[in-house]
Amino acid sequence: MSRCAFVTLVNSPDYVIGAVVLKRSLERVGSVYPLIAMVAAECVDTEHLESSGCLVREISPPDLSEAFILRHGREGLHRCAPFDKGEKPQFHIPLNNFSKLALWRLEEYDKLVFLDADILVLRNIDHLMEYPEFCAAPNLYEGLDGFARMNSGLFTAVPCESTYQKMLKFLDRPGVFWRRTDQTFLQAFFPRWHGIPYIYNALQYLYLNLPQLWLWSSIHVIHYQYEKPWQKDHAKAEQLRPLIELWWAVKQGRDISLRIEQFAREQRQSSDGSL
């Protein structure tokens, strides 16, 4: 078991709180595996991460060409491929997403399961350590066409330095543009990726746009894509209130089991009444 771990990326001070709550959510469901926090910024409060039980690993971002950086910086990326489905917070720096590739350099581990720092684990997912590389859930949050694309908020990986070096060569090529940064890149690098059920990476907009697929009795992971639960007064806060309240309850150390059961019970009753 010591050769497997969960891993997340903390690429700015604003994601420290996310990683801390992620760690608490893993503890709440009885996970036996540690959470590695890969830190890619000098200004990150590593003491807070360590005191919360995270194993901190300082990493270096990939060495990228100036042309690549211009295309994938926040301004360049949003100009060519604007995020028009939701609002990304100002502290979101798209270029930093590529730093998560550094997990393939952690060769002291046999298997890693990556989790974005804006994730909340509702049910135990330790069994994902038994899954092969590269497993990921679909990018399902607006329409059923999302089943054809992967979301890189959760995936399985086998650390290997040679894989990392191959990634760098494939990543930064003349004229290449990764529309959704690491997500588009990983799907191209692993074209035969293994799909796992969306309940292992339930994107919060699924709750808004495809509520019939939001199954409280089955969802293992909530992924707060776009707006973050720790942001104040964002545009969709009221619509996402139940999900935000769950995140804050875990942050505050309150038990959420009964609340999730209540949501599931109400959903079953609503479904039965519509038949």
Antiparallel, parallel or unpaired: β 202-203 and 221-223: parallel
Do 159 and 103 contact (CB within 8 A), yes or no? yes
Strand ranges of the sheet holding 4-10, from the earlier edge strand across to the other edge: 55-58, 35-39, 4-10, 111-115, 150-157, 135-138, 194-195
Domains plus CATH for the chain?
4-196 (3.90.550.10)
pLDDT in tens, 216-271: 999 999 999 999 999 988 889 999 999 999 999 999 999 999 999 999 999 999 88
Query: Which tokens sit at 170?
Result: 């494939």
Per-residue burial over 174-189, b if 16 or more Cβ lie within 10 Å, else e, is eeeebebbbbbbbbeb
- Residue 89 pLDDT > 80, yes or no? no
pLDDT at 275: 45
38-52, 72-86, 170-184 — which is least confidently predicted? 72-86
Mean pLDDT (whole number) for 182-189: 96
pTM of the full predicted structure?
A: 0.92
Give the integer Cα–Cα distance in Å for 71 and 198. 31
Strand ranges of the sheet holding 202-203, from the earlier edge strand across to the other edge: 119-121, 221-223, 202-203
Residue by residue, DSSP assigns 19-51 as HHHHHHHHHHTT--S-EEEEE--TTS-HHHHHH
